[in-house]
Amino acid sequence: MTTDSPTALGVWQGSSRVGTLWRGSDERLIGFEYDSDWQAQGRPISHSLPLTRKAWEPETLTAHHWFGNLLPEEQARDALIKRLGLPDDDFTLLAAIGGDCAGALSILPLDERPAKPEHTSAAAAYRELDAGRLSHWAAFKDRYAIMADELPDTRPRLSLAGAQDKIPVFLDQDRVYIPTSQAPSTHILKFAVAGREQVILNELYLNTLARLTGLPCPPCRIGYAERHPYLIVERYDRRGIGSTQIERIHQEDLCQAQGIPRSRKYQAFGGPDFGTIVQTVRDACKPAARSIQQLLHWQLFNVLAGNSDGHAKNISLVQDERGRWQIAPAYDLVGTIVLGYHPDLAFSIGQQYNSIQLLPRDWQAFSKACRFSYPYVKRQIKYIAGTLAEAARSSTLKAALQEAGLSDKGWGRLQQQRQHIQRQCRRAERW
């Protein structure tokens, strides 16, 4: 660990100080304490970090899990650590890249305050990402080079959780800018990994299809760096996109809401089952009915579309100005089964993880665990499967995808995904 590494960081929401993060005595675990004024007049930043308690010691792990869940994972984390030359610990990474996180919080050095809100100016607060560097990233070369700028004061501080390579950016017309210092981003650029280029086309397809079935999803479209595609996703945790004033909206994923680490995002690896997820949403969202209905729609969509990566970090809650939580739009919808990833669902249906082998008894057990009536779940399966089967083969879907930048060749490459959905919708008739 470097000798000038900080031991404490300030947590801010807008111009208000939320609290303080600090290193534990082992220099790896993280503690958190609410600021007294925020505790008296603010809102809890998490369902797992209520204002009724002021501080969480590092050894409890609750705060560590919440803030650690803001960080990249797996190969994205490894590439970032290598590029920045930092030790692999969560506190050091938060100090380096916590300036623009998912949600509304900014994590800054103790001697630094958030800049006063100003009209967003690409020239003042952002650095344009030139076509050459974007092409290198999209072509699986020199990733995270933008994080090692020669001028530390202009080095971007940004963090997005997850294993897929992605960067938050500010878009102005067709020009791409990297936020510097504390500037907010408006969109996320998502890149394929080597040998998996079709994941970008597939995610565009499923996100667009989901919206046609009534499942809220952020708008997205395809961009190209030379011949390499990448996905441009509008951030749902930003307000005022397209205006001169961008505001951050607070959010947390379901691992954060439950105070569990990212390593437990899958049920099969010690994570929560779907019934527990439903109960957490019931407890956090008041009123909860719309959020619960959307959550069930999301899970049924994953089963029918073949998304085995619908885990606890791919469900989030957003918080309004009064501190009330509701479920966020769906994101990271990918047909992982068709693309050759692990076939088991992130959440089982009853005891069954294989979405192709589901039987009525599995849905009966699922309904009981979630405290749903089985007839209600059956009606939802019938409705969503019927809507999905019709939308998947519709000219409306194809036109929407073409408008989002999908070529005729790209449409042809999605045939296997369409066939999988049609087969699953026919199987659903027997559930």
Q: What CATH number did the domain enclosing 388 receive?
A: 1.10.1070
Q: Cα separation of 157 and 183, whole Å?
A: 9
Number of domains present in the structure of the chain? 3
Average pLDDT over residues 287-305: 98
**Average pLDDT of span 351-363:** 97
pLDDT recorded at residue 241: 86
pLDDT number for residue 238: 93
Instruction: List Cβ neighbours of 258 (8 Å cut-off, separation of 6 or more).
Output: 47, 48, 272, 276, 280, 312
Based on the fold, state whether residues 305 and 408 are members of the same structural domain. yes
Is the pLDDT at 90 greater than 60? The verdict is yes
Residues 308 and 181 in one domain: no
Q: Are residues 365 and 289 in the same domain?
A: yes
What does the pLDDT read at residue 191?
85
Q: Do the domain assignments include residue 2?
A: no
| Of 154-168, 246-260, 287-301, 336-350, the least confident | 154-168
Give mean pLDDT, residues 322-336: 96
- Annotate 142-168 with b (16+ C-beta within 10 A) or e (fewer): ebbebbeeeeeeebbbbbbbbebbbbb
Question: What pLDDT, on a 0 to 100 scale, did the predictor assign at position 63?
Answer: 97
Residue 7 has pLDDT above 50, yes or no: yes
415 in Cβ contact with 386 (< 8 Å): no
For residue 146, give the DSSP letter. G
What integer is the mean pLDDT of 158-180? 75
pLDDT at 119 over 50: no
Same domain, 158 and 287: no
pTM metric for this prediction:
0.90
Boundary of a domain, candidates 193, 212, 238: 238
User: Whole-angstrom Cα distance, residue 207 to residue 52?
Assistant: 38
Lowest mean pLDDT among 76-80, 96-100, 229-233, 374-378: 76-80
Which range has the worst mean pLDDT, 101-105, 244-248, 307-311? Answer: 244-248
Residue 157 has what pLDDT?
52
Highest mean pLDDT among 129-143, 216-230, 235-249, 320-334: 320-334
Residue 126 lies in a domain: yes
Cα(339)–Cα(325) distance, rounded to whole angstroms? 34
Per-residue pLDDT at 151 exceeds 90: no
Shared domain check, 210 and 184? yes
Q: Are residues 232 and 255 in the same domain?
A: no
Mean pLDDT, to the nearest integer, of 141-153? 53
Mean pLDDT value across residues 375-395: 96
Nearest to 100 by CA among 147, 61, 65: 147
- pLDDT value for 67: 96
**Better-predicted residue by pLDDT, 167 or 151:** 167
Of 238, 260, 278, which marks where a domain is finished? 238
Lowest mean pLDDT among 91-95, 125-129, 310-314, 318-322: 125-129
Q: Tell whether the model's pLDDT for residue 306 goes beyond 50.
A: yes
Higher pLDDT pick, 88 / 317: 317
pLDDT category of residue 140 using cuts at 50, 70 and 90 = low
Residue 73 lies in a domain: yes
Q: Which whole number is the average pLDDT over 134-141?
A: 69
Rounded to whole angstroms, how far apart are CA atoms 161 and 142?
20
What's residue 181's pLDDT? 64
Mean predicted confidence (pLDDT) in 53-74: 94
329 band by pLDDT with thresholds 50, 70 and 90: very high
Residue 48 lies in a domain: yes
Report percent pLDDT > 70 for the chain: 89
Average pLDDT over residues 242-262: 91
Residue 114 placed within a domain: no
Lowest mean pLDDT among 43-57, 72-86, 101-115: 72-86
User: Among 77-86, 148-157, 296-305, which is the least confidently predicted range?
Assistant: 148-157
Contact of 414 with 202, CB cutoff 8 Å: yes
Same domain (yes/no): 34, 160:
no
**Domain span at 73:** 8-109
The stretch 69-77 carries a mean pLDDT of 84
Same domain, 176 and 322: no
Least confident interval from 125-129, 161-165, 216-220, 391-395: 161-165
Burial of residue 73 (CB within 10 Å: 0-12, 13-18, 19+) is middle
What pLDDT does residue 45 have?
97
Q: Is residue 210 included in any domain, yes or no?
A: yes
Give the pLDDT confidence score for residue 99 in this predicted structure: 82
For the segment 133-150, the average pLDDT, to the nearest whole number, is: 62
| Residue 384 belongs to a domain | yes
Q: Is the dihedral of CA 201, 203, 204, 209 positive or negative?
A: positive
Q: Kindly report the average pLDDT of the chain as a whole number.
A: 88
Average pLDDT over residues 168-196: 82
73 and 207 belong to one structural domain: no
For residue 1, what pLDDT is reported?
38
On whether both 360 and 338 belong to a single domain, the answer is yes
Is residue 2 over pLDDT 80? no
pLDDT over 80 at 39, yes or no: yes
Last residue of a domain, one of 109, 132, 166: 109
The answer as to whether 192 is a domain residue is yes
255 and 233 in a single domain? The answer is no
Same domain, 181 and 303: no
